[in-house]
Every structure is written in C-alpha cells, then in structure tokens.
Amino acid sequence: MKTLRKLLTPIFLLIGITAMAGEIDTLKFEVKGNCEMCKERIEEALDVRGIKSADWNVESKIIVIVYDKSMINEIRIHHLIAAAGYDTPREKASDKAYSNLPGCCHYSREQKE
C-alpha cells in the first residue's frame, strides 16, 4: 500500500499543479486611444479574474494581454475594453461609452456604416 501511495502522490501533485496553472495564453491587438489616461482606463477595465496582465502601449496603440483561457475568453476581453469606451478590432465601443471619456481621450473613430 505504501508503494502505491508513493507512486500516486507525485501524479496527483502534477495533476493539481497543471489544473492550477490553467490554460495561459497571450493576445496582442490594437486598441484605439490617445494618452496615459486611456492607458489607465484600458488596463483597469481588464483588472478582472482570469487576466494575469494587460499592458497597453500609448505610442503603438497595441495591448498585450496574458490570460487564463479556462476563466475568460477573447470575446469577453474585447467586450470589457469596448465597455470602457475604446474600440478594438472585434468590438466597437458604444457611442455612450465613447462620449463618457474625457476630451483628451476622444480618439478618431471610423464612421459606422
């Protein structure tokens, strides 16, 4: 019985560690915005369970997000950013969310068809 326990313990530990690690992935895409205030708002919108880190670059307008795919999906991530007032390649912010941004954060938007 001790031998069986010695064999199974490392296997269960490995399974537990793998389950805790989840399915970590990285996203990288453009988010419209202008300034450091935009950076704060965009990154704060992604301060949710399942997102390990989010870093939006003011100059390049590119965000890099490290997230756990078992806890949050890409569609939800785009939705969170759009809800904060910022357009992404997959989801446009509502006019209301955009208009609630401070004046310095109003970026150039593509016209809706």
> Which CATH number does the domain housing residue 82 bear?
3.30.70.100
The two structure tokens encoding residue 31: 């988010």
> Does the pLDDT value for residue 25 go beyond 60?
yes
In a domain, 78, yes or no: yes
pTM score, whole prediction: 0.79
In a domain, 6, yes or no: no
In a domain, 86, yes or no: yes
pLDDT given at position 67: 97
- Residue with the two structure tokens 């870093």: 55
DSSP state of 105: G
Contacts of 42 (CB under 8 A, 6+ apart): 31, 33, 54, 56, 63, 81, 84, 86
> What residues make up the domain containing 34?
23-105
In a domain, 16, yes or no: no
Q: What is the pLDDT of residues 30-71, one digit of tens each?
A: 999 999 999 999 999 999 999 999 999 999 999 999 999 999
What total of structural domains would you count in the chain?
A: 1
Quick count: other Cβ atoms within 10 Å of Cβ 52? 14
In a domain, 3, yes or no: no
pLDDT given at position 110: 75
In a domain, 61, yes or no: yes
Q: How far is CA 70 from the centre of its chain?
A: 13
